[in-house]
Structure 1
Amino acid sequence: MEFIQEKTSVWERLQQEDRPIALYGMGDGADKILRVFADKGIKASTVFASDEFVRGHSFAGFRVQKLSEVVEQYGEDIVIVLSFASQRPELLERFYELDARFDLVAPDVPVAGGGLFDLDFVHAHADEFQRAYDWMADETARQVFSDIVNFKISGKIDYLRHCETDKDEVFRNILKPHGHECFADLGAYNGDTIRELLSYTDGAYDSITALEPDKRNFKKLSRYAEESLTGKVELVQAGGWSEDTVLTFAAKAGRNSALAKQGIPTQMRSLDSVLGGAPCTMLKLDVEGAEHQALLGAQQTIKTHHPRLNVACYHRNEDLFDLPALLKEFDPSYKLYLRHHPYVPAWDVNLYAV
């Protein structure tokens, strides 16, 4: 795999580090990183947060500090481990400033599923990675694929900055929406993707079918539809899955609500069942790690109608090669494009198929 540039994983680097290691951020991402630290014998020295979030509290046994306090205590020769995700421009700029001033890494921990995206994982799936890379339909997609893999190995955010593109490029050059779309949105959240699509069609469409499992998100979606949509719209309070069933769901009322061992029993639906053979010209899936299952539940729709697809491709370690393979199995004629939109770490990596 000639596109692999990195030969040392971020975890190996941190194991060998003798400088102070400062975690930037708190929450689920930091918890996951600290669990890997414990497993690999990596010692964190401190935790800091953005100044506006420092209130004299503690996290994981550390008193949460300001960066200025960390520098006063340890100096500037430290390693900063970024442990939360953001797409907000002001935070991205802060990340870039920290990267220029310090040695900063953003270790990749999966949003869903287990394991680590390290060199062992890459080598174990070398043939699958190479096949997926070779399927990419343009040079930009191949560059994104390479940069995302190298970022996930190394934690170096320069790779993410190098392969960022704006969503406008996707809509205008790849998806090319028109005013007669039959749009299916799995993981519709509050209607944000519907609004985004309709901004390119002057509000015109033939039909919209939207699935959203979270109760509070579904209320927001329903309110948006009542206030802004006037055509054929079907809203379903359910998650996208391979079949119609009930699964346990962690209701967080946010974009990252996901399947869990404990939570609320939630209706799941296959798109094939919901549509019942009705046409679909464009399909978006962002179902927090259930993309493989949701695609299985949409395979008849895909095989029959060949919709253009927008599939989140960053929740699980295997998504980069597994999801392209599944689409090619359903319909070998699909042209596949990978794009990364501004986000640190490697979230908002999407597979587009036309």
Structure 2
Amino acid sequence: MTDRLINKLQLRDDGAPLIEVLKNDKLPVVLWGNGSLSYSVKKYLEENGINIDAVWINKRNPEDDIPDNCMDYGQLVKKFDYFNVVCGHSRYDLAESTQNSYAGIHRIYCFTNICYGQWNCISKRFIMEHIQEYEYTFELLEDDYSRLCMSAYLNCRNNENFEFIIPFSYEAASYFSNPFFQINDHEVYLDVGAYNGDSIREFVKSVNGRYQKIYALEPEVNSFSELSGYIKKCGLKNVEAYNNGCWNEDTTLSFQLNAESSSVCNDGISIKVKRIDEQFNHYGISLIKINFLHGVLETIEGAEGILKELKPNMVVTVGFDEWGLITIPKTIKRINPDYKLSLRYASPMPARLLLFAY
């Protein structure tokens, strides 16, 4: 019998969120980073009435869209005697060393709950209202380290404090390198949400270019174009890419693209979605990766037949919202009780919590 999850939680009573602390600190605000996550951070600050006085970029990529108020550290200390820094990337583990290494920084704020346009913490009230469901997932997990990852996730999301997950992110796992299963040169890999081919690139490298088949699904038109271009440019063999999404039925859904991500929504363009069982039945799928914000549960439901018959290894990102750890593990075990479930972090960021089903 494992220890209960409730005994590992350090939940705060709903108080002033971290954004209010930054608001009350009247120093200049410097956004650190200019990548995709910084887009959501910038939007979050602006919607809370916080002006960004400068953008700090250590290394500039000529291909990037560099903002007019971009500065290096030397320029920052010349303009501001003392300033706050807001982390606009996911390397929260660098905050303490950076603050200690650069004079003039009063504090580095890491808004760990910001990802893909979301920025709400998981409240103590929600966790306690659903504690039995969280406890059920906690019991389903195969190993103690996974249970520590889960409690750290809830503590981090509730307290807006990345330090809860840092101890469990140094040995980062990935889709294709983890303690639970080893990929081989006979894999039939299904990449659900293939984006521009970034995960396929990682997969091909992991198997040294030897695999049986790759199937890639990407519903967004521009990303699909990049994906197709990547496959052609690299001359990848035995790869089939499809411009559709996944669901628990064959239908049409509304879909939206922003600067950081794309996902199913209530108001957007129409895309075709299909059941994985219908599209890839008898294809011998051995490995599935799922990484997107909305529709993961429905996607898994649409793969019920394959999960029952073939029991492919799966890696699913479950750290995007408060429901991922409640609904997804339970659904996988309902479909096929033979699955073992474990959690690991891909990087020191709560949204990069991965569920391994094997």
What's the TM-score once normalised by structure 2's chain length?
0.79
Which residue of structure 2 lines up, in the alignment, with residue 193 of structure 1? 199
Q: Distance in 1 between matches of 2:294 and 2:29?
A: 26
Contact conserved, 2:28 with 2:80, CA < 8 A, in 1? no
1:5 lines up with 2:10 in the alignment:
yes
Task: Name the CA distance, whole Å, in 2 between partners of 1:19 and 1:195.
Answer: 43
Shift in CA distance, 69/151, structure 1 to aligned 2, threshold 3 Å: farther
The residue that corresponds to 2:189 in the other structure is 183
Measured in 1, the distance between the counterparts of 2:228 and 2:276 equals: 19
Given residue 353 of structure 2, which amino acid in structure 1 is its aligned partner? V
Instruction: Give the direction of change, closer, same or farther, for the CA distance of 1:33–1:119 in structure 2 (3 Å limit).
Output: farther
Tell me the distance in 2 between the aligned counterparts of 1:103 and 1:115.
Answer: 19
The structural deviation recorded for 1:350 is: 1.0
Q: State which drifts further: 185-194 or 158-167.
A: 158-167
Alignment of 1:1-354 (within 5 A): 1-8=6-13, 11-12=16-17, 19-20=25-26, 25=31, 27-32=39-44, 44=50, 46-52=51-57, 55-56=68-69, 68=77, 72=81, 75=82, 82=87, 84-86=88-90, 93=94, 97-98=98-99, 102=107, 104-109=109-114, 111=116, 116-164=121-169, 165-167=171-173, 171-226=177-232, 227-231=234-238, 233-252=239-258, 256-343=261-348, 345-354=349-358
* Secondary structure of residue in 2 paired with 1:199: helix
Contact 2:175 2:289 survives alignment (8 Å): no
Contact persistence 2:134–2:325 (CA under 8 A)? yes
Q: Sequence identity of aligned pairs in percent?
A: 20
SS in 2 for 1:249: strand
C-alpha displacement of 1:110: 6.0
Distance 1:249 1:114, change over 3 A: same
CA distance in 1, matches of 2:20, 2:346: 31
Q: State the match for 2:34 in structure 1.
A: none
RMSD, matched Cα: 3.2
Q: Deviations over 1:302-352 (max 9, x none)?
A: 111111100011222211222111111111221111111224x42221111
SS in 1 for 2:7: coil
CA pair 96-264 structure 1, distance change in 2 beyond 3 A: farther
Alignment gaps of 5+ in structure 1: 38-42, 58-65
Counterpart residue type for residue 55 of structure 1: D
Gaps of 5+ in 2: 1-5, 32-37, 58-65
How far apart are residue 32 of structure 1 and its match? 4.0
How big is the shift at 1:249? 1.6
* CA displacement 1:131-159 (0-9 Å, x = unmatched): 11222212221121111111101111212
Q: TM-score, normalised by structure 1?
A: 0.80
